[in-house]
Amino acid sequence: MTSGPTTPAEPRPLSGSDLGEVLSEYRSIREGIERSILPLATSVDGVTFDLQSSLYHLDLTRGGYVVIGATDEARLGQVTDLRVGSIDASEGALAPGASVHVQLAQGSGLLLEGEGRPFHAEAVRPATSEEVAAWCARNPTRYAGLDVGELLLAPGVPATLDSGGLDRHTFMCGQSGSGKTYSLGLLLERVLAETTLRVIILDPNSDYVGLGDIREGVDGALAERYASVPTQVDVWRNDPEATHPLRLRFADLDRAAQAAVLGLDPIRDRDEYARLAELLAHREEGKALVSGPSELLESDAPGARDLGLRAMNLGVFDWSVWSPDLPSLIDEIRRPSARCTVVDLGSLDTPQEQRLVAQAVLSTLWESRLSREPCLVVIDEAHNICPAEALDPVTLLAAEKAVQIAAEGRKYGLYLLTSTQRPHKVHENVVSQCDNLLLMRMNSRADVADLSRVFSFVPEGLMAGATSFRQGQALVAGKVMPRATYVKMGARVSEEGGADVPRTWAAPREEA
């Protein structure tokens, strides 16, 4: 007699208490395995490394410094990425062939020393500030160091930028309020105190007008090093009583800018354009028929009056920036008398004047490039001066000059330092020519990803950390900081021009 086919027994649903027991056993096995994961690093190329660590005692951080290996062979590395990973692990307490899904920390990093020697499963632990400081001492900056604060993940260790790296263009980016202007002022203070580099600042919000004023209560070594700076800073502002009134001569502008001020297009308005060129010709020899818009109305020369009326209707006569008598900012740009020139664009009455002055400065710097005098050209709120898309002819001219300086200025000693809130707002040919990056808090992950593509030499994981920065924290990378690092900006020596409006309006109300 044959027995019929047997049906496999249906798994019996676990009752509530059975389920609890099984789950607790599973969790305990999993936790046992997860706790036993050792912090280990492996490198196949002796340049980068991969690491693992238990999530239960994770003391590694992205951007943080680590010591890898045994004491006599130990070397310093930097974690550039850290994330939660998972693996299937088996363990004696489990049925044969069964495994548990466990989670662990996985990451990667760069070796800061001992490069070229691969290793496998070496112990990895966080480096102490003393160990990081010792590494910094073994790798000093080649040129004068600019101490801008401390290493964010090695407290107490000075964050020292190599001033020699400023012979490349620099891009600074961060959310509004992330601390760009404060930090840029701090960097400029150190540049002025520690180097002899000439600095010109296009200052749209009058933020840098206090660079020559030392803050109350600042003393010690820093104040001493800064003591000679105040006399080297000249602020050009829109005030006839100021030591340096911010003035231009129309005749000093380049041809394209003169025409743009009068709204003339070289093709569409070719007759008027040619007439203007004729009236202003020979300005260098002082033989020009007119030297500024106001003279156009009074001139008997053919066509001059029509051009004068055009200027009048555009409101150009009302600009306070014109002055045939006072020294022109252009003369200062051509033949500097001061080490640091702050161009207080914020003091001008109209955006048109601000754009024109910025254009005139950039154009004059380019025109004088053959003097090969090294100069750091700082453009805060660069999206207004060299925007991705210029909406008026003068800004278009300014953006073109900035692009030209970005592309070819370096070999003439013209180094740009542009600062903005979003990378896409600045002309891409300016951003793409920058070799140094100062990245502050960014809310947009998409913007960070785009910057990662432009600054591909910076580890992507370090860039991603910018979305969790606090005010005053920055990622510094490039020739000024060959090993990209997180920095906490220090304290300013000089006065801030336009600090934020205090939040007194949000103080809790006192009950009557």
User: Which residues in this chain contact ligand ATP in the complex, by CB under 6 A?
Assistant: 174, 176-182, 421, 471-472, 489, 496, 499-500
Residue among 420 and 433 whose Cβ is closer to ligand ATP: 420
Residue among 107 and 472 whose Cβ is closer to ligand ATP: 472
Q: Which does 433 bind (CB under 5 to 8 A by kind): Mg ion, ligand ATP, none?
A: none
Q: Does the footprint of Mg ion cover residue 384 (CB under 5 A)?
A: no
Q: Does the footprint of Mg ion cover residue 354 (CB under 5 A)?
A: no
Residue among 234 and 496 whose Cβ is closer to ligand ATP: 496
C-alpha distances (whole Å) from 140 to each of 73, 149, 189 are 22, 16, 21
**Spatial distance between the Cα atoms of 153 and 488, rounded to a whole number of angstroms:** 9
Q: Which stretch binds Mg ion (CB under 5 A): 18-26, 32-40, 176-184, 356-364?
A: 176-184
Kindly tell me which residue out of 53, 160, 178, 181 binds Mg ion, with binding defined by CB under 5 A: 181
Q: Which stretch binds Mg ion (CB under 5 A): 20-28, 93-101, 119-127, 180-188?
A: 180-188
**Spatial distance between the Cα atoms of 3 and 15, rounded to a whole number of angstroms:** 33
Q: Spell out a b/e string for 471-483, using b for 16 or more CB atoms within 10 Å of the CB, else e.
A: ebbbbbbbbbbee
Cβ 98 to ligand ATP, closest distance in Å? 54
Q: Which does 85 bind (CB under 5 to 8 A by kind): Mg ion, ligand ATP, none?
A: none
**Spatial distance between the Cα atoms of 69 and 61, rounded to a whole number of angstroms:** 18
Q: Which stretch binds Mg ion (CB under 5 A): 1-9, 174-182, 455-463, 504-512?
A: 174-182
Q: Which does 472 bind (CB under 5 to 8 A by kind): ligand ATP, Mg ion, none?
A: ligand ATP
Closest CA relative to residue 283, chosen from 242, 313, 243, 254: 254
DSSP state of 164: G
Q: Does the footprint of Mg ion cover residue 494 (CB under 5 A)?
A: no
Residue among 180 and 425 whose Cβ is closer to Mg ion: 180
Residue among 179 and 212 whose Cβ is closer to ligand ATP: 179
Closest CA relative to residue 38, chosen from 162, 157, 122: 122
Judge whether 431 and 454 are in contact, CB under 8 Å.
yes
Beta-bridge mates of residue 473: 488
C-alpha distances (whole Å) from 508 to each of 130, 500, 504 are 44, 20, 9
Residue among 76 and 187 whose Cβ is closer to Mg ion: 187
Residue closest to Mg ion when measured from CB atoms: 181
Parallel, antiparallel, or unpaired for β 65-68 and 481-489? unpaired
